[in-house]
Amino acid sequence: MEIKVLKDILSANDQIAQENRQLLDSNGVFTVNVMSSPGAGKTSLILETIRRLKGAVQIGVIEGDISSSIDAETIGKEGVPVIQINTGGECHLDASMTYRALSNLPLQDIELLFIENVGNLICTAEFAIGAHKNLVISSTPEGFDKPLKYPLMFTVADIVLINKIDLLPHVNFDTDAYKKTVKNLNESVEIFEVSCTTGQGIDRWLSWLQNQLRNR
């Protein structure tokens, strides 16, 4: 006997992601899922944002990593609540790992939560975790053809940052071609150019964030 199922394999994950979203909403926590290849600048961006918004916005961080806790330690030094998730070999965070981390954070004291996902442009795009916005970071040394190689990631993105623009004179990165490719995959995405090292462009990113927080 054949039984129709027609259900997404990841529907159980999606269900938990929705519960995470409700938990975040009921505590008024605006949450950004930060995704990129390893080394594109996720931790650097989170650190720079914490430093700039210190005193103005209460920030919390969840650090996803396959096994190490170096990033969590660096962020902990900034004096913000941070929870480390070791995925134990999995190349992405999923909704239930995220739920466990959320249960260990003082959510009522947090206005803005960053979730640094595992450095990976493939699987992280497939597992919803309940964040309000998906942020994808590309960095100029990676080359400008990433969006065509990993289109799914760019179709789930709400905002894309091009990081390491201080290196533009030294690398082969065609910013216009990159932006056009991303916009073609995803018309509504917003794209900002930044450098976490020199601080260039960070103001625009911060005003985007503060706008989101006001409309939360």
Partner 1 sequence: MHELAITQALIGLVKEHAEKVGAKKVERINVVVGELSGFVGQSVEFYFDQMSAGTIMEDAKLSFKTIPMAGRCRDCSKEFDIKEMDWTCPSCKGSSIELVRGNELFVESIEVD
Ligand X SMILES: Nc1nc2c(ncn2[C@@H]2O[C@H](COP(=O)(O)OP(=O)(O)O)[C@@H](O)[C@H]2O)c(=O)[nH]1
Residues making contact with ligand X (CB under 6 A): 36, 38-44, 119, 163-164, 166-167, 195-197
Residue range at the interface with partner 1 (CB under 8 A); choices 50-58, 71-79, 99-107, 179-187: 179-187
Which CB sits closer to partner 1, 155 or 197?
Answer: 155
Minimum CB distance to partner 1, residue 90 (Å):
6
User: With respect to partner 1, which residue has the nearer C-beta, 184 or 200?
Assistant: 184
Exactly one of 7, 55, 169, 176 binds partner 1 (CB under 8 A); that residue is 7
Whole-angstrom distance, CA of residue 4 vs CA of residue 181: 38
When CB distances are held under 5 to 8 angstroms depending on the partner's kind, the choice from partner 1, ligand X, Mg ion, none that residue 122 binds is partner 1
Residues paired with residue 75 on neighbouring β-strands, in sequence order: none
Place of tokens 């009921």: 26
56 binds partner 1 (CB under 8 A): no
Spatial CA neighbour of 43 closest among 82, 91, 7, 98: 82
What's the CA gap between 85 and 71, in Å, rounded?
11
Pick out residues in 138-167 that bind Mg ion (CB under 5 A).
none
Query: Is 71 an interacting residue with respect to Mg ion (CB under 5 A)?
Result: yes
Q: Does 91 bind partner 1 (CB under 8 A)?
A: yes
122 binds partner 1 (CB under 8 A): yes
51 near 78, Cβ under 8 Å?
yes
Q: How far is CA 155 from the centre of its chain?
A: 14
Residue 176 engages partner 1 in binding (rule: CB under 8 A)? no
Residues 6+ apart with CB under 8 A from 128: 10, 13, 14, 17, 95
Q: Which two tokens stand for residue 11?
A: 């529907």
Q: Which residue has the tokens 């090292």?
A: 197
The binding site for partner 1 (CB under 8 A) comprises: 1-13, 90-92, 94, 122-123, 126-127, 148-149, 151-152, 155, 180-181, 183-185, 187
